Amino acid sequence: MKRPIAQLVGTGRYTPEKIFDNAYFETILDTSDEWIRERSGIRERRIAEEHETLAYMGAAACRQVLDEAGLTPLDVDGIVLGTASPDRLLPSTACDLQAELGAHNAAAFDVAAACSGFLYSLSVAEGMIASGTAENVLVVGGDRLSKIADYTDRTTAVLFGDGAGATLVQPAGNGKRGILSTYLKTDGRLAELLYRPGGGANHPPDEQMLQDRTYFIRMAGREVFKNAVRSMADACDRALEKAGVHGDEVDVLIPHQANIRIIEATAKHAHVPMDKVYVNVDRYGNTSAASIPIALDECVREGRIKEGSLVLFVAFGGGFTWASVLVRW
């Protein structure tokens, strides 16, 4: 097993107070609490108010990490933000987050890998540490999907929520703690199964875009589901194989929280029993890049992850992108 180059130090999260429960969607769409719970496992999701921008939520999560690590924003030399719902298209939301946090010494940029964004960002941060480019890198996963969800489309609107989570990545030192293995994979041929057709440079905003609602997320749910199950299972195998670890050694599995049925299928394949799998999709819905760092922060605060715990993260999202990271906490 390779000696870790980078370790995760501390966690933080920000989730809005406002809640949309399934009953709310019954009032605006032809859907039911029963359908949503049975097909996805979701009961409610958090929805950002106007002032709760992605930069605001991300900065709040980062502040918590820094305060607990005894660092100031000026100690940070890198900010990597995984997101699919930037506050604006230029500059990256990481720049706005940097300003909001007052981390003026940090190089800051976004990583666009949809729901896999946090794990892709972790890998980028590990690379920055390995190359000596940075020593205190905030890795943030955040999304504000309520702003790009189509609230007239019952096949997508009910699934998504808002939030942000963060961790600090530092050199691993000589100990065993840190990132043991990473696996990243992409298949761009399947991009249009989960995407936003309009709003970018290919289709700048116009009247037609508003009429056709191409600004919003479109998803072929069943196809995404099948690919997610297959790819997340494969990603678990790869990260474990690379580190020479068997699934039954994993203390906590933190999968991307999109659907309880995908989570259960992934855990079964990886030979991780459900009592070692962290699930909060019922409370937050699918928060895309935020789902893993929010879950990680909850696990740490609940004492489910302790020093020495072996933690496996796995994600799947638009692109398609998928990823897994194995960490000794």
Give the residue with the Cβ less far from ligand UT7, 126 or 143: 143
Q: Is 35 in the site for ligand UT7 (CB under 6 A)?
A: yes
* CB of 144 or CB of 328, closer to ligand UT7: 144
In single-letter form, the type of residue at position 47 comes to I
Please enumerate in sequence order all residues whose Cβ is within 8 A of that of 148, keeping only pairs 6 or more positions apart, or say none: 84, 85, 196, 215, 216, 217
Residue 210 burial (C-beta neighbours within 10 Å; 0-12, 13-18, 19+): exposed
Which parts of 108-167 interact with ligand UT7 (CB under 6 A)? Answer: 115, 154-155, 158-159
Site string for ligand UT7, 300-329 (x = CB under 6 A): ----------------xx------------
CB 91 within 8 A of CB 175: no
Which one, 183 or 225, has the nearer CB to ligand UT7?
Answer: 225
Question: Among this protein's residues, is 286 annotated catalytic?
Answer: yes
- Check residue 40 for interaction with ligand UT7 (CB under 6 A): yes
Among residues 115, 227, 236, 259, which one is catalytic? 115
Q: Which burial class, exposed, middle or buried, applies to 86 when counting CB atoms under 10 A from its CB (0-12, 13-18, 19+)?
A: buried
Catalytic residue status for 95 = no
Could you give phi then psi for residue 212, rounded to 5 degrees? Answer: -85, -5
How near is the Cβ of 177 to ligand UT7 at its closest, in Å?
29
Does 225 bind ligand UT7 (CB under 6 A)? Our answer is yes
Counting contacts by CB under 6 A, is residue 31 touching ligand UT7? yes
Q: By CB under 6 A, tell whether 186 contacts ligand UT7.
A: no
User: Which two tokens mark 67?
Assistant: 């305060």
Q: Is 61 helix (H, G, I), strand (E, B) or coil?
A: helix
Residue pair 315/232 in contact by the 8 Å Cβ criterion? yes
Q: Which residues bind ligand UT7 (CB under 6 A)?
A: 31, 35-36, 39-40, 115, 154-155, 158-159, 221-222, 224-225, 228, 258-259, 262, 286, 316-317
Active site residues: 115, 256, 286
